[in-house]
Amino acid sequence: MRYASFFERLVETEIPHPEVLSVYYTVPLDPAEFDGVLPRVEHLVRQAAADSGSRITLADLRDTLAATRDWLGRGVAMFVAGANGLFERLKLPAPVDDTAMVGTRPYVRPLIAIGHRCPRYGIAVVDEAHAWIWPDDEPAEITAVTDEALRKPNYAGWYGLSEYGVRSRAEGLRIRHYRRAAAEIRRFMRREGLDLLVLCGHDYEIPVFMEELPVDMRSKVSGVVAVDPRTLNPANMKPRTDPVIARRIAEYDENLAAAVVSDAATEKNAVTGLARCLAAVNARAVGTLLLDDGIRIRGAVCRGCGNLLEAGERACPDCDADVRAVPDVLEEAAVAVLRSRGKVVPLPSGLLDGGPVAARLRMPIAVFAH
């Protein structure tokens, strides 16, 4: 995912005192509206601080915030912990909802959601004599493949060959070019560590090219976009390829949610509902945690064993220690799952049968269910 090592560091960060302030906002597309951002964010920070009984403020951050003025239309994430010195500012690939949270850790749910919704992917444009490949966020980093034999305008016209011979030779050259292009695309995807690819070209050529793609590459193709490669401008392709990736992710989300909800209904290594999911997280039994991205739930964390509990618990049922209230127990669950090398998938609202959370388990329910 984007910012993998940065993200790993954030997930591992834990600061008992003082608190960490996490702020997310989006820079307006219209620069004239930027002056409205500061009061809005300040209001959210005051609320979050009051909520957690903290004195943390935006005081020293106004300049830092103002320096993001040119990031038009982009989301911004900031993490601040005064005494500890933790200070990170990140330009995000898409807008985010305004959020401010105070806690003992950076609040990472919005970052997980952005990473899931906006993965880095490859864009490849192929025609019968060329191929161009680049990462979606770096159109300048383009790799080009050109077949010199095919570029000559009269390549099919060798003197003395029968028409059949000319055609089959031309066909052979084209197939050779497609295979070379496919091999180059595969090398590029591996080098960049990319799992998704959007294929662009003439609509009559793409299916023929797909035939020459190795099977492991075909499964990475998220969709195709019809373009005329002669009028290609890599810098302008992203608005056309992003919706292809968005559709692929929406499909993945729906299938995953439906499968986990149905497995949970028959108790097949999956659970739904907050209580059962927290029990599964506490038992380190979750392989994949599915979260409704629009829902936050107050809860508690045991100061003794670290178990996650529903709001209202005054002492831990397992070790009897005191508990600490948290503004979003789903955030705590997400981090616990990531720390135990599980996966977290944030979903659009409503996919989990009205519930806030579901989990695919690494082990049978009987192992941890009471």
Of 70, 40, 46, 71, nearest to 59 by C-alpha is 46
Shortest Å, Cβ 319 to Zn ion: 3
> Does the protein bind Zn ion through residue 316 (CB under 5 A)?
yes
For Zn ion, which is the closer residue by CB, 198 or 326? 326
For Zn ion, which is the closer residue by CB, 58 or 308? 308
Of 157, 318, 340, 343, which lies in the binding site for Zn ion, with binding defined by CB under 5 A? 318
> Does the protein bind Zn ion through residue 305 (CB under 5 A)?
yes
Q: Which residue's beta carbon is nearest to the bound Zn ion?
A: 316
> Does the protein bind Zn ion through residue 258 (CB under 5 A)?
no
Of 95, 223, 287, 304, which lies in the binding site for Zn ion, with binding defined by CB under 5 A? 304
Shortest Å, Cβ 321 to Zn ion: 5
Residue type, 160: G
For Zn ion, which is the closer residue by CB, 270 or 316? 316
**41 DSSP assignment:** H
Of 25, 49, 307, 351, which lies in the binding site for Zn ion, with binding defined by CB under 5 A? 307
**Main-chain phi, psi angles of 27, to 5 degrees:** -80, 125
> Does the protein bind Zn ion through residue 234 (CB under 5 A)?
no
Stretch that binds Zn ion, among 28-36, 94-102, 115-123, 305-313 (CB under 5 A): 305-313
For Zn ion, which is the closer residue by CB, 87 or 368? 368
For Zn ion, which is the closer residue by CB, 14 or 318? 318
> Does the protein bind Zn ion through residue 302 (CB under 5 A)?
yes
> Does the protein bind Zn ion through residue 300 (CB under 5 A)?
no
Q: Which of positions 319-348 make contact with Zn ion (CB under 5 A)? A: 319, 321
Stretch that binds Zn ion, among 159-167, 229-237, 307-315, 338-346 (CB under 5 A): 307-315
Shortest Å, Cβ 363 to Zn ion: 21
For Zn ion, which is the closer residue by CB, 243 or 306? 306
The SS3 assignment for 117 reads helix
> Does the protein bind Zn ion through residue 272 (CB under 5 A)?
no
Shortest Å, Cβ 322 to Zn ion: 9
For Zn ion, which is the closer residue by CB, 250 or 321? 321
Stretch that binds Zn ion, among 154-162, 269-277, 308-316, 340-348 (CB under 5 A): 308-316
For Zn ion, which is the closer residue by CB, 60 or 322? 322
For Zn ion, which is the closer residue by CB, 167 or 324? 324
Shortest Å, Cβ 283 to Zn ion: 13
Stretch that binds Zn ion, among 72-80, 127-135, 183-191, 314-322 (CB under 5 A): 314-322
**Main-chain phi, psi angles of 367, to 5 degrees:** -65, -35
d(CA 342, CA 333): 11
The 3-state secondary structure of the chain reads: CCCHHHHHHHHHCCCCCCCEEEEEEECCCCHHHHHHHHHHHHHHHHHHHHHCCCCCCCHHHHHHHHCCCCCCCCEEEEEEECCCCEEEEEECCCCCCCEEEEECCCCCHHHHHHHHHCCCCEEEEECCCEEEEEECCCCCCCEEEECHHHHCCCCCCCCCCCHHHHHHHHHHHHHHHHHHHHHHHHHHHHHHCCCCEEEEECCCCHHHHHHHCCHHHHCCEEEEEECCHHHCCHHHCHHHHHHHHHHHHHHHHHHHHHHHHHHHHCCCCEEECHHHHHHHHHCCCEEEEEEECCCCCCEEEECCCCCEEECCCCECCCCCCEEEEECCHHHHHHHHHHHCCCEEEEECCCCCCCCCEEEEECCCHHHCCC
Helix axis angle, 329-339 to 274-282, nearest 10°: 30
For Zn ion, which is the closer residue by CB, 66 or 319? 319
Q: Which residues bind Zn ion (CB under 5 A)?
A: 302, 304-305, 307, 316, 318-319, 321
